[in-house]
Structure 1
Amino acid sequence: MDRVWRCAGLRWAADGPVLTWQGGRTSALPWGKRVAFEVAEGGVRTCVGARGHACPVRAAVPGRSTGARCEECARLDRAHSVAADTAADDPRPYHVYLAWFGPGLTKVGITAVERGPVRLLEQGAICFSWLGAGPLMAARRTEELLRAALGVPDRIPYAAKRAVRSALDPDPAARAAELSALHERAGALPDWPESLEREPFRPVDHVGVYGLDGRVDGRVDGRGDGTVPEAVAEVSELVAGGVVSGALVAAAGPDLHLAHGSGAVVLDTRLMTGWPLGPAAGGADGGDRLTLPVRDFGQGRAKGVQGGLF
């Protein structure tokens, strides 16, 4: 393999999803772009390090790990995260939000005000609304208030998010209804921190941003019916010598939905990090191809390495 790149993950920009690579290179991902790469034959997945520093021992990490970090680097990375409650002196203002991923799948969370909606895009939120904004500790207390009083979780497994994406109600108002009711219940709770400035319910819908409505810039794309192929399976891990090739039909959070046969397969880009990757044979002109382990959504179990899904 002449060229070997290492993926640094997916980020969301104003124009949509962008793959980032170690060394600073980026690859924009417009709808319809063919995502095609091959995992280096004999390649080993190595730890991506922490906080901008390389892993000192280049430790090998499991193929199914979405963190792609060894135990020591994972500990170091989390020790400096807001999620770990180790940054109590952070002076920045924080938003408290409610995010909806599908029926019965709503969570509460916080994100720095300066980040805007990026954190919600990273998580794959279908729609969201701000609850309020204020100092970090006030935001934390509000988050805990909703968990304790209303049973609203602060985490939802990605597998649960993926399972409902292809069966969303087409009406944005219907998608926001559950979120609206919860926002009202949250606002009626006593004991809100005084330093948190409350915000009214203003739902923001990401279905169009993710391409899940089959439209690009307001136009129905090449599928012609305003829909995207149903996601029927997900890549469970990358393996040395494995190949992926498929047109991008949608993306949400870290997930790319790639056309394959009559449906789509979901590739979590976090599984790509740490692997040596190169161009697949045929590149942008190649057909749909997948030689990686996949998990069928219908059966909920992993399949073996195979040449096709359908």
Structure 2
Amino acid sequence: MGWQSTGLSWPHDGPVLGWRRSDGAGRGRMSVLAYGKELGFRAEGERRCTGARGNPCPIAAVVPVRTTGARCPECARLDRAHSVAADTIADDPRPYRVYLAWFGPGMVKVGITRESREAARLREQGAVVFTWLGRGPLMAARRTEEVLRSALGVPDRIPYARKRAVRGELPGVVERAAEVEGLYRRAVALEGSGWPETLERLPFEAVDHAGAFGLDTVGASAGAVSGRVVTGLADGGAVGGRLVAAAGPDLHLETAADGFVVLDTRLITGWDLVGGDARAVLSVPVTAAGGGGVQDGLF
């Protein structure tokens, strides 16, 4: 019996892969990933729905190999219906935070996240730099997000392909922080004319994740973080290599025979996975850098 990945998470400063038994027995486990270390696995069988809200899919539906959600339509609907992003739980009493996230030059988004999650969501999105803007009730945070998105001309979502494309050519720490600070000052200038009164403004502090992502090391050169992209797994398909960097759901691997590749770990959920040779020839579909979807829910 193999294991199924529950995805890449960022509980602290480094990436962690979650796993559960394919048969659902026993407790899950976590694998802390370290840059410079090798990893390898092989997919078996068919990719099946991961269920919704912690519950297994009742029919174990087969799902497409190239989707990032790994859920059948019914489970996807159930999962979405209980998310903050769907605006179905407007009475959520928990505090939320509004943030500005920077992914590369001219690539900034505004968003909100539950305060108890701290900066985990920013790392999950692959934000190289971010700053908090304010904190308060959900609807106040949501309203502020909408106001700032319109006033600053920034989106609430950025395609992962665009984020990947710029990781190897980032400006320095000072330049990164300066661009975020400029937008922060424009945002707080709207206080009183657009911000809800119940949203508390927070001071500017640029938090830089380049070190946590491994992007400031020699190994994370332009070639190392902008290589080809895995587009999906297949029965018997093998992936392996040396981890040189990670950001959001992406693992940037240096393979023994195929150069640098990017693995979006959302594509491995739903598969039965067994250990494999980290130096084996890559045997899954890949495409040139630039492929990829838009990030999933924001919370």
What TM-score, normalized to structure 2?
0.90
Secondary structure at the counterpart of residue 110 of structure 1? strand
The question of 1:291 aligning with 2:291 is answered no
Secondary structure at the counterpart of residue 131 of structure 1? strand
Q: Which amino acid in 2 is paired with 1:9?
A: G
Secondary structure at the counterpart of residue 278 of structure 1? strand
Between the aligned partners of 1:279 and 1:88, the Cα distance in structure 2 is 44
User: 2:200 corresponds to which residue?
Assistant: 197
User: 2:189 corresponds to which residue?
Assistant: 188
Q: Percent identity?
A: 60
For residue 287 of structure 1, report the CA deviation from its aligned partner. Answer: 2.0
User: 1:176 corresponds to which residue?
Assistant: 177
User: 2:265 corresponds to which residue?
Assistant: 269
Q: In the TM superposition, what are the counterparts of 1:127-276 in structure 2 within 5 Å?
A: 127-169=129-171, 171-189=172-190, 190-214=193-217, 227=221, 229-260=224-255, 263-276=259-272
Between the aligned partners of 2:143 and 2:92, the Cα distance in structure 1 is 15
More divergent stretch after superposition (136-145 vs 20-29):
20-29
Q: Is the 8 A contact 1:146 1:186 kept in 2?
A: yes
Between the aligned partners of 1:109 and 1:230, the Cα distance in structure 2 is 25
For residue 35 of structure 1, report the CA deviation from its aligned partner. Answer: 1.6
User: 1:51 corresponds to which residue?
Assistant: 53
Between the aligned partners of 1:268 and 1:173, the Cα distance in structure 2 is 29
Secondary structure at the counterpart of residue 13 of structure 1? coil
For residue 181 of structure 1, report the CA deviation from its aligned partner. Answer: 1.2
User: 2:18 corresponds to which residue?
Assistant: 20
Between the aligned partners of 2:186 and 2:266, the Cα distance in structure 1 is 35
- Residue of structure 1 aligned with 2:93, choices 87, 91, 106: 91
* 1:107-159 deviations in Å (ceiling 9; x for gaps): 00001111110000010000000000011110000001012222221111111
The alignment yields a C-alpha RMSD, in angstroms, of 1.8
Q: Is the 8 A contact 1:295 1:301 kept in 2?
A: yes
For residue 255 of structure 1, report the CA deviation from its aligned partner. Answer: 0.6
Between the aligned partners of 1:188 and 1:263, the Cα distance in structure 2 is 47
Aligned residues: 282
Q: Is the 8 A contact 1:259 1:288 kept in 2?
A: no
Q: Is the 8 A contact 2:2 2:274 kept in 1?
A: yes
Q: In the TM superposition, what are the counterparts of 1:7-86 in structure 2 within 5 Å?
A: 7-14=5-12, 16-22=14-20, 23-40=27-44, 43-86=45-88
* 1:21-66 deviations in Å (ceiling 9; x for gaps): 12411111111221200111xx110000000100011111101110
- Quickly say closer, same or farther: Cα 1:21–1:301, change in 2 above 3 A: closer
Between the aligned partners of 2:69 and 2:264, the Cα distance in structure 1 is 11
The list of structure 1 runs, each at least 4 consecutive aligned residues, that deviate by more than 3 angstroms after superposition, is none
Q: Is the 8 A contact 1:231 1:263 kept in 2?
A: no
Q: Which amino acid in 1 is paired with 2:285?
A: P
Q: Which amino acid in 1 is paired with 2:264?
A: D
Q: Which amino acid in 1 is paired with 2:194?
A: D
Secondary structure at the counterpart of residue 290 of structure 1? coil
Between the aligned partners of 2:31 and 2:291, the Cα distance in structure 1 is 32
- Quickly say closer, same or farther: Cα 1:269–1:301, change in 2 above 3 A: closer
Q: Is the 8 A contact 1:79 1:86 kept in 2?
A: yes
Unaligned runs of 5+ in 2: 21-26, 293-299
More divergent stretch after superposition (117-126 vs 231-240):
231-240
* 1:72-91 deviations in Å (ceiling 9; x for gaps): 00010011111111111111
Secondary structure at the counterpart of residue 273 of structure 1? coil
Unaligned runs of 5+ in 1: 215-219, 303-310
Between the aligned partners of 1:51 and 1:230, the Cα distance in structure 2 is 33
Between the aligned partners of 1:116 and 1:301, the Cα distance in structure 2 is 30
Secondary structure at the counterpart of residue 192 of structure 1? coil
User: 1:308 corresponds to which residue?
Assistant: none
Q: Is the 8 A contact 1:147 1:154 kept in 2?
A: yes
Secondary structure at the counterpart of residue 227 of structure 2? strand
Q: Is the 8 A contact 1:98 1:106 kept in 2?
A: yes
Q: Which amino acid in 2 is paired with 1:19?
A: L
Between the aligned partners of 1:243 and 1:213, the Cα distance in structure 2 is 28
Q: Is the 8 A contact 2:258 2:281 kept in 1?
A: no
